[in-house]
Each structure stands twice: as structure tokens, then as C-alpha cells.
A and B are shown apart, each in its own frame.
Chain A
Amino acid sequence: MNSKEKNKRFWLSLDDLKNSLSFAKAKENEFAEGMTDNFNPEDMPSHSRRKFLALAGASAAFAATACTNYRDKGEIIPYNKKPDDLTIGTASYYASTCTGCSNGCGILIKTREGRPIKIDGNPDHPVNKGKICAAGQANILNLYDPERLKEPHSGANGKFKFDNWKNIDNKINVALNNASANNKEIAIITHSVLSPTQKKLFDDFKIKYPTTKIYSYELFDDRTRQSAWKQCYGESEFPVINWGDANVILSLESDILGKEGNFVEQIRLFAAKRNVDDAKNFNRLYVAEGGMSLTGMNSDHRLRIKPDAQFEFVMCLLNEILNVRKAGTISFGPLAKSKIEQYLLNEFAQKEKLSMSVLNSLVNDLISNKGKSIIYAGDILAEKVHVAVNLLNEVFGNNTLYNKERSSVKHLDLSANEEIEQLIGSMYSGNVGVVIHFDTNPVYHFAPDYGYSTALNKVPVVVTMCEHENETSLKSHFALPVHHNFESWGDFQTRTGLYSLQQPVIAPLYNTRQKESVLLHWLSGSVENYSEDGYHQYLMKNWEQYIYPQLSVASDFRTFWFAALNDGVVNYKSVVQGIGLFNYNKIENLIYSYWQPAYQHGKSNFTSPVISVVTAESDASKKSEFSESLGLVLMLTGNYTIGDGRFANNGWLQELPHPVSKVTWDNYAAISLNTSKQLNVKIGDNVDINANGKKMTIPVMIQPGMADNLVSIELGYGRKSAGTVGSNVGFDGIQFLSKKNSSAKLLKDFTLSKGSGKYKFASTQEHHAINEPEVMDYHKKRHIVQEGTVAAFIKNPDFFRESKPKAEDISIMNRVQYKGTKWAMAIDLNKCVGCGICVTACNVENNVPVVGKDQVMVGREMHWIRIDRYYSDSPVEPETSNQPILCMHCDDAPCENVCPVVATNHSPDGLNQMVYNRCVGTRYCSNNCPYKVRRFNFYNFRNHFEDGYYHKDSLSLMHNPEVTVRSRGVMEKCTFCVQRIMEARQEAIKNGVPLKGTDVKTACQEACPADAITFGDAHEKDSQIDYIRNHKLGYHVLEELNIKPNVTYIARLRNKATEVKS
């Protein structure tokens, strides 16, 4: 580490960087300002604590003196006949498939006494290998959501009344028969079809009702990628990429580690190449993007390029490699060549203000890693960028990284915009008899200029199947409640060579039906004898007749079927014979046609766009305004937590901090620091955006690392009818989408101006910040985040240790000598990408409550593990570092010394224990914790949030019965999942073997897709944790305090290209 790196300053926000006084003060205080304000016990719903204590004292005195009879201890109700595979108090696990998005990951559902309580990935699933995203983890809350639609409803104009299934079936059967008799269309609108059996069901439905048409759509789709593959290789199915074999990855505006593709798999494969013991083989991640994404945060080199400049960038790379470096094996005809030759990398760099040394090292890396690198374009980019990227990958021979056996599978094409338009046209002209929304919400999802909502008024029968009431169900005649994921049967095929199965793990909680079952029942034509088991039988029959024979399995069908259900997945030898040949001739012509006549060498296009801004602070009427001519781009992108809005009513996900900005419960318009200066706005100021005839006022977030002149808004927020939790959270960017534009998510035709008013974000960014003052004495400087480079590490593996300040081992306390087991954790910061999946897993495992936006604002979020995000270097192009912080279970824990009632103390196996029923809520411990990881229950948050929303009956089924549900007035914090330690101990005693450290997996460790977390017994020789604790790159946060924390961090090594000067 050179002295410059040593003095590198890490900052949490722009306020921090500027050394703003208020933030400096906030860092010094344990509680954020206002955290303990306005806390009036009198306002609380039930008794105040004082009153409670008085009552408790009085009743204790009465109870002690009064000679009452024995207290009744209640009853124990055993089963009448116990299911065979169930032991009370022991969890059962069932393999199934998640239906939260179109990735179809395999999941393992943990149930206790028949209640699902925790979701993890299915370790046998070859794609997600035991890991699942945050939404998948939190999906359990959707099952028990008190606002699920519980009964079928019928009505119109948003006014509904309870109805029974039989009545509704009757009416719909009549409507379906009428429609097909009168040659009126029956439209079924579904999300992408991933299930072969569902596809068959649709086909059967079409046979029975021939006027049926199936439409499928996704808010976030990969249609541009598909069409580019069709252009290049003749097939729109694209292969899976072997990310784990890539030495160099160039990601173009694609969040491969955050939200695009199967990012859980991508994180795992990416992180596997970040093993510090194999530092020579580190992959190198280049990210060229405009928005600041999770992938960008983890890049080794980041290039700020606006999304509309990506095509130029790829072409410049192509030209540089083919014509300047002469490194390619192919050559184009003179026509295409003449065009390609005009894309000059150095001029592009000048124009976009990119570092030439980074670009040179990128080109060098790509050339020297031919066949071992991958260039990947984001879903949001236009087809031509994808074509150019495919070409570039071919030029480098990177097609070796395409998995020949696994490719995407399409059961049904996503509908083109024209098809949807046609449907809406016939709806208006009265040619549509019935519309069935197959658990979809097009009123919210469709671009407003379709006029879908009004078109629905012209349809005589609109049916919406949904779990929750939503925007579309309110416009329907029938709202039919459907089963949750965990109550349903199904099969999925998302890739060739693989099926995964879905099975119910709990009987339906309400009067719901599986959506496929409903169709199947209508198919039968009779309203009588609805069978809950219908779709299960249909599924099995389809497998027995069509799928099982193709698999050529040795066992008989029933054996095979039960084995498949047990495993959750069926692997088979894929019959797909690789991918088609790259069509050079066609692509050459395409590239030629892509060439923009306006694009001319050295001409005005190459001068950087001058943004003239009318700065009129005093004159409010003369607002500063940007427009297209100034090169402004609006990017509508995906969000990290709530999917396409379907998880909006999930408090856990709404409260999960955004991995980059750490904002909860909101979205915003992200802009760069420079753009904000030109626009004269600060964080939280409202701006007005006008696009496609729609106007929206949205607050801005100044995002370090954003490209200038780019506005980015995440979609999925701003739902109007999502339920108590999810309605009116954030701002709805979908209204800017347009049917006319195939790549509608990149807008140039819009105006942006400063609005009036301010908005307050609930950001956890500056909460629980660790003080890092610029102290004069260098050796005392707190090295909270410590980093190095791969080159330095390879040169001298001890460089980190040598540079570490030596702390004197003195303590005012008597050091406890730990014998036997001593629990410890290690977090590899090379692998951690900061996705936040661990936070959600911890929430579910440990019954962590949702507190709500108002409480997050005053710093009362309850997460036991948080991910601190630090920026370093300039706020325009920062480097970012992630650091998960949880209770360190310090040997000499400062919290323990100050508790007046010894509610927190140390166990002999090294755990810092927190005893809730002893805690009286002085908060001294929290005050004394240097890591700021203790969380205080200012309220009974379940009761406090939205008038007891999470206190309703159904929610109590969800809680982990092995963990206390904490109430008001007690402190809590990470326990190292002591319930799991105890379970492992129980098993060890049962089997008569000693407890091993590897027997325990904490919830965060189990969930971490990057395998960054290690947990175990520090005293176990030759164990992984013992090795990491003594690793050359290992360090403790705030080591100099000498409190002996037990979470070891492995310093992050950045794989900087050597030729790039830092």
C-alpha cells in the first residue's frame, strides 16, 4: 500500500465529503438527531411504561400475598393422527420453485409444524445452487400478508362484494361460451410462460375456446437481447454464459450482479473468481455505465458512459481491435470497414472524458484474454448494441464461454407491442368478449398511451386472478383470489437440460384456488365438482405422457415422480446442439445500416455537448431547463427489491436499503453531481419531468458516479392500489413508457426542470456511520475499510500486515481465556458485492420487524446486519467499498460493562448474549457500542407500524418459533443465530459426537450468494475460520480499540490493471 492509498479517504455521502458540520456531529453521536425526539409515551397505544410498572408492581404484590389456587397452565393439544414425516419441534424441508420473477430459481422451504417459516435456495438446483435473492427470501411475507385477497369478489367500477366460486364459475362459463359462439376474442394476459404444463393448459384452453389468444408480457424483458440473437445466430434463444471462466468481464449498462438475468447465479460465479488464495486468477471487471449500479460498485475500473453512447463505444472498441491493433481474425468488406474505421477510440475518449489509460488496458486485457473474456450488454440497450456486442465477442472468440448445453428456453414468445396494440384496438371495437388477467397487472404495467385502462371498460367480462387487490383487479368484474407460490403445484423449465418442480407446502390459508386450476375447471365446462387436486393430476398426467418418456429414466413413473418432487429438480442431457453459426454477412450489412449519417469523423458531434443552463435562482418563473439538444437522457431501469411492483406490499423489501444509495421506501431521479449543479438542485429537491405528454414531480438523489446529463428512475414504485404497505410508495416512472418505442426505457425526448418543494428520503446511509475523523496522528487513524491491489499482494503477500498499525495489547479488563468452542465469523470483502440478501435472510430468520418509513427517517431501523457503503476518491467518479457490519461479539465487549442489569454478557463459547427478559431498556449498551449494531425497540413495531398491520393473526404463523418476538423497550442485536448453534448442539448430543464449527451455518452465511461469509469455531485447528482469522489480509474493524472483535474481514484487493495510474 503506498502512502497515497493509506491516506485515501472514505466517505459515506456528499455531506460527509464536504465535512458538513451536521454530519460530523451525527457521526459522533450514537443516535441520529431526532431518533429519541418526539418519543412521548403518552401517545403510545396501550399503557405507558411507568403505568405498566406500577400495575406490574401492584399485581405482583397481590399475587404474592393472595393465596390463590394453582394457576391454570393451559392445554397441550396433540394431533389426533400425526402425519408420518413430522416431528413436533423439528423442521421439515420441501423443494419447490420460486415464482417471484422469470428466473424460476429452485427453493427449499423450511416448515415447522406445517407452517413455512424460511425460504432458502435449493442446493440441488444447478442454477442458483442453494441461494435465492432478497425477494425470494421475503416472499414468505406475501404468503401471510393480512391483505391477501381471501374470497372471490364480483362487481364493477371498483365496487366489489363477496361472491362464491360456484356463482362466478357459472357466470364466466356462460361468458366464455358466448364469446366463442359469437366469435369474440378471449384474451388471456400472462407474464412470461416458464412452465411446459401451463403452456399445455393454454393450448387445451385454446382448443376448447378457439377464439382464445394468449398475450404475455414482462415489465423488464430481454426482447432486445433475443432479437439481436435472432439477427446474429438465427435463433432468439441465447446460451447461458460461463461467467466463472471469464478472466475479463466488460459490462455495458447491465447490472449483472444486481438485477439482470439470474444475478444470484452470476454473483456466485463472479465471486468464485475472487478468491484471495488464488489472487493470480482474479477476474477483472470493467463496467461502462451511466447509472451507478451494484455491478458498477464492484468494478475494478468504471467508465462513465451514457447509455446512448454505448453503441459508439462498442464500435470504437471494434475498430480499435480490428483496424488499429489488427488483433482480430475476421475482416469486413470495404463498405462496412469504411464505416467502422470512422469510430475512433481516442476521440471517443476525449468526447466522453474517459481515461485513455483505462481504455488501453481494457483493450489490452480483451486482446490478451481472447476466448476468456466476455462483453455483456444490458437489457435496456437497443438491439444494435447487442448485435455489436455479439460481434465483438465473436471477434475475440469469446463464444467459447457460451454454454453449449444450457440455453434459455421459450415456451411462448413475449407479445410484441403491435400485438398488444391490436388487442386494445379490438377491445375498443367490441371484438373482445372476455379478458382474463392471469395473475398480471397490466393496468399498472402497460405504457399509458396504450389506453388499456379505458379499453377495459368496453369489455363485457374482465376477470383478474390475483393474490392481492391491484390496479387491474379494481377495473375488473371478477377478482379471483389465487394461491400463493407455496400453496401451488407447477413445473418450470427456464433452461435446457433442466426442469424444476413446484409443490405446495401448506394447505390454502384462504378460500383461494390455484390460477391454473381455475382455468382447468372452466375447461371442464361444469361448475360442479371443483377439485383442489385437479391441476396436480393434470400436471402429473402431462409429465407421465409427454415429459417423462423423453427423459429416458430407468425407474417407473411414480418412483421417478416422487424422487423428482423430493429433489425439486430434474436434470437431463440437453438435446440442444449448441448455438447457431454467427451470420457474418448479415451482420456486416447490419453494421453498415446502423451507421448514422450524422456521425462524422472529427465533426461537431465529437465536441462535448455544451449545456447552457439558465440559472435563475431568484427568478422562479425562469426555470432552468434541459432538452434533447443538450444530450440529456432519461433512463427507466429496474429496481433491486420489489420486482416489477408485485412485491410492493412487502414491508421487508420496501425497508431493505437500496444497495447503492441506501434509500428505503422510495425511488427517486438519480442525477450526477455536475448535472445537479447545473440544475441547481440538492438531494431531495423536487424536479419536474415532462415526457410523452406526462408530467411528474420527483425528488432527486445526487448519485456519485452517475454519468452527467443522465436521469435514472427505477420502475416498480408508485403503485396506487397495492395495499396498506405498498400503495403510494415512491413515484411511478411507468407513465413515461411509450408503446411506440421498442427501447422505450431510454428517453431523449423529454424536459427536466427544477421543481418546487423538497422531499425527505428515509435513507440509512448516514445512520450508524462510523466516525473517521481526519486526525493529525496518522497511526491513530481508524482504518475501517482497508484495501489493496492484487498487484501489490502478488508482489508482496505480507504488504498488508506490514502496513498495519501495531496496536498495544492492553486492557483494563481481565482477559477471559476461552476454552473449547469459540464462535467467530469472517467476511471476505473481495466476494461481498453488497446485494443485501443477507439482510433479508436475517430479517426472516430472526423475526426482525418492519418499522416503516417514518421510523427509518429517525434512525430506528431494526436490521441486525447492515451493509455500509463507502465512497472514496472524487464524488464524480468514486470508488465504492461495501462492508457488512453486524455484532462483532467482542471478547472484551464494551456494551457488557455498562449494562446496569447484566442483560448483556458473555457466554463461555464466545457469544455476546442479549437477554431480552432481563433488559430494562437503558440503551447504555448501544451508547457504548463502537460498531453501532445494537437496535432498540422504541415501540412494539409490529403493533406500531400502520396500526398493527404486522400484528395481525396470520403473521404470527410466520415467525420463527425458535426466536423470541421482541416487544417494546428491549435492546436486540445479532446473536450469531444462536438458535442454529443450539440446534446443531442438540444434533451433536443426539449422535454422541462433539459439536463441530462447520455444523452451524448462520442465516446470512447460508443466504450469501457470493459465499463471502464463513462461520465456525475459531479454536478448531485447520478449520476454514481458523485459517481466515490468521490470513495475511485479515483485519478487524476498529482493531486499535483492543476489544477483540470476532468478525474478521479480509481486505478487498482491487484488480487494477497495472498500466493504469491511480
Chain B
Amino acid sequence: MKKTVLDYALKVRLPVTVFVILLSFTLTFFISRPERDGIGYAPVQPIKFSHKLHAGMMKIDCQYCHTGVEKGRFATVPTASICMNCHSIARKDKPEIIKLAGYFNSGKAIPWKRVHRVPDYAYFNHSVHVNKGIDCKNCHGDVARMEVVSQVHSFTMGSCLNCHRNAHQKMPELARQIKNGPDNCNACHR
């Protein structure tokens, strides 16, 4: 039988092309995955605030600044006035503090870059987690050691459920206090 161009295209070119496309897709999919999930994202902030210094070395409690964390859905980023509680006296001469005071005095809000984000259709609630005794670290990593905050864990639905379904493995220290989290849709979506 005579080999036609079509045969060649179907038997050789097509499988090779499909293989190459699939391989490159699969490779890039897995290699770029953390990046797509935002892991390692550490944007440059308008003020070079160091969690390592404040939360780590000076051991200021997270809730001193993130006041909403046990009251409602949002942990809240501190207002400039909270910073100024100390910095109206402390380190007034440092360039970053001068920048801060500039924002505060002009009444402008500080445009902090967002690091962690769940989509709008997921109604994550900080207070129910924190009030159950779950440490911030479980999702946000060891912020107290970060000079610049970056995302450590993935914030996908899969990661939420991973913990909700295996709470005792993930947080053995709370094994006696908490049960698995809800895994029904309405727990987050409404």
C-alpha cells in the first residue's frame, strides 16, 4: 500500500505534536503551580515594615495591630493611628517612620499591598478560626521571622479542605479542643 502524506501526518506528526504539547503543558503546569497559587509572593510595601522586628524580636502580639481578627471576618490591616501609638515617640527620625508620619498627618491611607487573598465568593472568617485557638501560623506561616511578608501556604479551596478534613493531623496540639471543620459548601460560599 502506498503511503500518503495523510498517513504520515496522522501516524507520526500528530502523536509527536500532541505529546510535545501535553508534556510542555504538564511540566509548566506543575512547575508554575506555586507561583499561580501565590506561594512566595512578597510584594514591595509602601513602607518597609518588618514583622520580624515587631512580632519576632519585640514580641508584640499579632492582635495588637490586627484588631479585628477575633471580632469578625477580617483580621484588618492596622490603621495609621495604631502605628502612631508608638511611633509618635519611637524612632521618629528614621526615614520609614517619617514616611509613616507623613501619611498619618496628611490623613491619607497607606496603600498596603495585599499578600493573602481568598476570592470574593469565599466568605472566610478569621474570628471563628482564631477563637477556636488556631494559630495564625497555620495559614500565614511564621510571620514573626519574615523581614518582608510573603505567602507561604496555598490559599486554594483544596488547602482549606485539606485542613478542615484532617484537622487533628494538621494541628495535633489542638486535637482535644477542635473537631474537623465543616466541609459543606455553605460553610464558605453563599
Chain A positions near chain B (C-beta within 8 angstroms)? 61, 63-82, 87-90, 905-909, 911, 913, 915-918, 962-964, 975, 978-979, 982, 985-986, 989-990, 992
List residues of chain A with CB within 8 A of the CB of B76: 78, 87-89
Across the interface, do B185 and A80 meet the contact criterion of CB distance under 8 Å? no
List residues of chain B with CB within 8 A of the CB of A986: 72-73, 125, 127-128
> Which of B4-12, B27-35, B56-64 forms part of the interface with chain A?
B27-35
Given contacts A88-B72, A89-B72, A985-B128, contact A78 B110 (CB under 8 A): yes
Across the interface, do A64 and B29 meet the contact criterion of CB distance under 8 Å? yes
Across the interface, do B25 and A64 meet the contact criterion of CB distance under 8 Å? yes
Measured in the bound complex, the distance between the Cα atoms of B45 and A73 in whole Å is 13
Does B169 count as interface, using CB distance less than 8 angstroms?
no
Chain B positions near chain A (C-beta within 8 angstroms)? 24-25, 28-29, 31-32, 35-36, 38, 40-41, 43, 67-68, 70-74, 76-81, 103-104, 107-117, 120-121, 123, 125, 127-128, 131-132, 182, 184-187, 189-190
Chain B proximity of A840: nearest CB distance (Å): 20
19 contacts between A and B (CB under 8 A): A65-B24, A69-B35, A71-B36, A73-B43, A76-B113, A78-B76, A78-B110, A79-B80, A80-B80, A89-B74, A90-B71, A90-B72, A913-B185, A964-B121, A975-B190, A978-B190, A979-B190, A985-B128, A990-B71
What is the chain A residue whose CB lies nearest that of B27? A65
Across the interface, do A80 and B35 meet the contact criterion of CB distance under 8 Å? no
List residues of chain B with CB within 8 A of the CB of A79: 79-81, 109
Across the interface, do B24 and A80 meet the contact criterion of CB distance under 8 Å? no
Given contacts A71-B38, A87-B72, A913-B185, contact A78 B78 (CB under 8 A): yes
List residues of chain A with CB within 8 A of the CB of B109: 77-80
List residues of chain B with CB within 8 A of the CB of A67: 28, 31-32, 35
Across the interface, do B72 and A917 meet the contact criterion of CB distance under 8 Å? no
List residues of chain A with CB within 8 A of the CB of B125: 982, 986
Partner of B186, one of A61, A80, A911, A989: A911
Across the interface, do A915 and B113 meet the contact criterion of CB distance under 8 Å? no
List residues of chain B with CB within 8 A of the CB of A90: 68, 71-72
Given contacts A64-B25, A65-B24, contact A70 B127 (CB under 8 A): no
Across the interface, do B35 and A87 meet the contact criterion of CB distance under 8 Å? no
Measured in the bound complex, the distance between the Cα atoms of B189 and A978 in whole Å is 9
Measured in the bound complex, the distance between the Cα atoms of B190 and A80 in whole Å is 31
Measured in the bound complex, the distance between the Cα atoms of B24 and A78 in whole Å is 43
List residues of chain B with CB within 8 A of the CB of A916: 121, 189
Chain B proximity of A820: nearest CB distance (Å): 11
Across the interface, do A76 and B127 meet the contact criterion of CB distance under 8 Å? no
Chain A proximity of B21: nearest CB distance (Å): 9
Measured in the bound complex, the distance between the Cα atoms of B35 and A77 in whole Å is 25
Across the interface, do A907 and B29 meet the contact criterion of CB distance under 8 Å? no
Measured in the bound complex, the distance between the Cα atoms of B71 and A759 in whole Å is 55
- B-side binding surface: helix, strand, loop or mixed? loop
Chain B proximity of A698: nearest CB distance (Å): 44
Across the interface, do A915 and B81 meet the contact criterion of CB distance under 8 Å? no
List residues of chain A with CB within 8 A of the CB of B187: 907
Chain B proximity of A1049: nearest CB distance (Å): 25
Chain B proximity of A92: nearest CB distance (Å): 12
- A-side binding surface: helix, strand, loop or mixed? loop
What is the chain A residue whose CB lies nearest that of B31? A67
Measured in the bound complex, the distance between the Cα atoms of B187 and A861 in whole Å is 28
Partner of B117, one of A73, A88, A915: A73
Across the interface, do A75 and B111 meet the contact criterion of CB distance under 8 Å? yes
What is the chain B residue whose CB lies nearest that of A77? B109
Given contacts A64-B29, A87-B68, contact A989 B114 (CB under 8 A): no
Across the interface, do A82 and B79 meet the contact criterion of CB distance under 8 Å? yes
Across the interface, do B79 and A917 meet the contact criterion of CB distance under 8 Å? no
List residues of chain A with CB within 8 A of the CB of B115: 73
Measured in the bound complex, the distance between the Cα atoms of B130 and A992 in whole Å is 12
Measured in the bound complex, the distance between the Cα atoms of B119 and A916 in whole Å is 13
Given contacts A87-B72, A986-B127, A990-B127, contact A76 B186 (CB under 8 A): no
Across the interface, do B103 and A80 meet the contact criterion of CB distance under 8 Å? yes
Across the interface, do B189 and A915 meet the contact criterion of CB distance under 8 Å? yes
List residues of chain B with CB within 8 A of the CB of A964: 120-121, 189-190
Partner of A982, one of B35, B36, B190: B190
Across the interface, do B128 and A80 meet the contact criterion of CB distance under 8 Å? no
Across the interface, do A75 and B184 meet the contact criterion of CB distance under 8 Å? no
What is the chain A residue whose CB lies nearest that of B25? A65
Across the interface, do A73 and B127 meet the contact criterion of CB distance under 8 Å? no
Given contacts A65-B25, A70-B38, A87-B71, contact A78 B79 (CB under 8 A): yes
Chain B proximity of A767: nearest CB distance (Å): 26
State the 10 A-B residue pairs at the shortest beta-carbon distance, nearest first. Answer: A89-B72, A907-B184, A73-B114, A89-B74, A89-B73, A81-B81, A73-B117, A78-B77, A79-B79, A913-B186
Chain B proximity of A117: nearest CB distance (Å): 15
List residues of chain A with CB within 8 A of the CB of B38: 70-71, 73
Measured in the bound complex, the distance between the Cα atoms of B21 and A61 in whole Å is 11
Across the interface, do A78 and B112 meet the contact criterion of CB distance under 8 Å? yes
Chain A proximity of B48: nearest CB distance (Å): 16
Given contacts A90-B71, A915-B185, A978-B190, contact A80 B123 (CB under 8 A): no
List residues of chain A with CB within 8 A of the CB of B81: 79-82
Chain A proximity of B94: nearest CB distance (Å): 20
What is the chain B residue whose CB lies nearest that of A63? B36
List residues of chain A with CB within 8 A of the CB of B77: 76, 78
Across the interface, do B127 and A913 meet the contact criterion of CB distance under 8 Å? no
Across the interface, do A73 and B184 meet the contact criterion of CB distance under 8 Å? no
Measured in the bound complex, the distance between the Cα atoms of B41 and A74 in whole Å is 12
Given contacts A80-B103, A963-B190, A978-B186, contact A75 B28 (CB under 8 A): no
Measured in the bound complex, the distance between the Cα atoms of B43 and A72 in whole Å is 9
Measured in the bound complex, the distance between the Cα atoms of B111 and A73 in whole Å is 12
Across the interface, do A77 and B128 meet the contact criterion of CB distance under 8 Å? no
Given contacts A71-B38, A81-B80, contact A76 B189 (CB under 8 A): no
List residues of chain B with CB within 8 A of the CB of A68: 35
List residues of chain B with CB within 8 A of the CB of A990: 70-71, 127-128, 131
Chain B proximity of A615: nearest CB distance (Å): 59
Measured in the bound complex, the distance between the Cα atoms of B122 and A916 in whole Å is 11
List residues of chain A with CB within 8 A of the CB of B79: 78-82
What is the chain A residue whose CB lies nearest that of B34? A70
Measured in the bound complex, the distance between the Cα atoms of B185 and A905 in whole Å is 8
List residues of chain A with CB within 8 A of the CB of B123: 962, 979, 982
Across the interface, do A913 and B184 meet the contact criterion of CB distance under 8 Å? yes
What is the chain A residue whose CB lies nearest that of B119? A917
Across the interface, do A907 and B185 meet the contact criterion of CB distance under 8 Å? yes
